[in-house]
Amino acid sequence: MNDGSAYLNRELSWLEFNARVLSLAADETIPLLERCKFCAIFSSNLDEFYEVRVAGLQAQAEALAHSKSIDGLTAGEQLRAVAERVAELVANQSAIFTELLRPALQQAGVALARWEDLTQTEAKAMQQVFDDGIFPVLTPLSVDPGHPFPYMSNLSLNLAATVRDPETGRERFARVKVPPLLPRFVTVSEGRFLPLEELIAAQLGALFPGMETLGVHPFRLTRNADVELEEGEVEDLLEAVETELRRRRFGEPVRLEVTSSMPPDIVLLLSDELDLDAHDVTVIDGLLDLGALMSLRDLDRPDLKDEPWSARTPAIIAGSAGPDGAADLFAVMRNGDVLVHHPYESFRTTVERFIAQAAADPAVLTIKITLYRTSGNSPIVQSLIDAVERGKQVAVLIELKARFDEQANIAWARALEEAGVHVVYGLIGLKTHTKVTLVVRNESDGLRRYCHVATGNYNSATARLYEDFGLFSADPELGADLTKLFNHLTGYSRTIEYARLIVAPTSLRSRIIELIEQERRHGSNGAIVLKMNSLTDQQVIDALYRASQAGVRVDLIVRGICCLRPGVTGLSDNISVRSIVGRFLEHSRIFRFANAGGEDEPGWFIGSADMMNRNLDNRIEVVVPVIAEALCERLDQVLKLLLVDDTLAWSTVFL
């Protein structure tokens, strides 16, 4: 289908997802500090959107590229539409913070004060805090013929100061960077805080002695932070990524955030010096960088937070515990496949236990795992190091190009290499996004392979926040498939046929479309339910349109971006799209095809891939079928619950 009106714009769809996140900040049924968290997430999401997506659009526009988006817009048209929608969203965010969150925080005993709100005693105390702990690290940078316009780092918060020489009457402009390593909110007294930039602004005279302060206004800069590698010319991928990370610091400016009180001449000066157009400037009425509200969740105020979630250990695993209380995952998997649902079920007693048991078990010969994003002080990484020290062969594929985790992954790669782990960085030109583990164990009847295939990362921190599934299996066919996959990732191979796995970029798109077409042939007896983070691939969308036109019922649960336009007469009458946004990030990918494999035989799949061009063409992704009837019934229960949710679910916003 070539008609752009049949699709929703990718960038605008993402902004609507972020609008759904922001709406939770206004929801008074949610604990107050959790609402602040969602307000902060909105800001950090928008930062990344500009660092990557808007930066890419700007590059296209500057290159006069003629390519258009799926809905037929040029890069310039998308930039203008994005700027218009962002202006609406940040105005809404400012209103939520100013009119709802800030008063509610004060009423709850967490006051975000303004300088003018301080008593004389408090102001004097804050002046001492400034003199002792802030003034020594500040560096005012003036702009004049002898002082060029200063470099400004990505996402830096700054003060634009205008001062005047009382003797000559000459006015000068200067920039003061708000130190990012200092707390954004300075403690005035218990439960009372002052934004750091307001304290610096109030003491500006100390930075410009003898000068008159005419005005001081916060502003913030966002730069292009995407890492681009010409991998075909790279000899050492790790060194190349490190070089690109250094270059990222000097990416082109893409957004200037200013307060509504900043004079137009200062806005124009900053815009000109940073080579930004008017639609690259976001005007905010209130505090800049509300992502700093995330720090409030560190306050010891459990009454203002969600009750801690206590994850349980699945009964089938808990029942296998020995005298030491530790479960025998291998024994459990020999009795059948196990499906684990995080964060409702414990990551520590399942996934981490699986790797730890494999590392300690004398019968285990080999452990192979892919790491895309992992956490600091990762128990999994430590278990892998322990395994090497016990003489096992350990191979780890670390994806160095995991966006914004590059530096952490470089550190993990070096730590593992130093311990003797076989570390590889994946295939040239592709990101390894799949989350899989293979353990080979020497047993009385020969070698047996134990597998884990997941929808989420091997990350202990996010496993408590992101909703994900993981499949544990000792199925010989799946073990053979994972052996082929790891040999492909660590060695050389071209044509690989898998018995169970569906792998991108070789076969995932074609197999998904084949399954959709199979439902289409069943007409009104067909049914498809797809749960994912994003849906942007035109070929998959068009296949879903064809299925809808044949009478197939299609239910899509898409948390984030969705370029499919549902409910259009003659095109998508039988398609519904809903987005679930709540306490836990709905991250799992679940695919159900009612007639896969034969008449009335359900087909269930989980995996790491969204239906996006980048996942299907430029990443190593794995989708695995779920076979056991009891596990399919469990997935069915989850999808049914999501499809009847009338509290956290949103219908697709028409753009």
Among 9, 154, 103, residue whose Cα is nearest residue 652: 9
CA angle centred on 285, ends 282 and 286, rounded to 5°: 115
What phi and psi values does residue 496 have, to the nearest 5 degrees?
Answer: -130, 130
d(CA 398, CA 374): 10
Contact 222, 188 (CB under 8 A): no
The Cα–Cα gap between 111 and 132 comes to 24
Cβ-contact 544, 570 below 8 angstroms: no
Q: What is the DSSP letter of 184?
A: S
Residue 220 near residue 289, CB atoms below 8 Å: yes
In sequence order, the β-bridge partners of residue 620 are 432
Is 271 in a helix, a strand, or coil? helix
Q: Which helix or strand (DSSP H or E) is residue 15 part of?
A: helix 10-23
Catalytic hit among 342, 433, 452, 587: 433
Start-to-end CA distance of the chain, whole Å, equals: 19
Q: Contact 503/620 with Cβ under 8 angstroms? A: yes
Q: How many CB atoms lie within 10 A of CB 585?
A: 20
286/292 Cα distance (integer angstroms): 13
Of 259, 186, 189, give the one whose Cα is nearest residue 219: 259
Q: 10 Å Cβ neighbour count for 609?
A: 28
Give DSSP secondary structure letters for 348-369.
IIIIIHHHHHHHH-TTEEEEEE
Give the other-Cβ count within 10 Å of 172's Cβ.
Answer: 16
Please say whether the beta carbons of 351 and 339 come within 8 A: no
433 included as an active-site residue: yes
Distances (CA, A) of 184 to 50, 111, 134, 296: 22, 14, 12, 10
The closest alpha carbon to 620, from 392, 405, 453, 449, belongs to 453
* Residue 343 to residue 326: CA distance in whole angstroms: 20
Burial degree of 408 (CB within 10 A; 0-12, 13-18, 19+): middle
- Residue 178 DSSP code: P
DSSP letter string, 522-542: TGGG-EEEEEES-B--HHHHH
Q: Is 287 within 8 Å of 257 (Cβ atoms)?
A: no
Taking the C-alpha atoms of residue 439 and residue 450, their distance in angstroms, rounded to an integer, is: 5
Calculate the CA 165 to chain-centre distance.
48
Length of the chain as a residue count:
655
Catalytic annotation, residues: 433
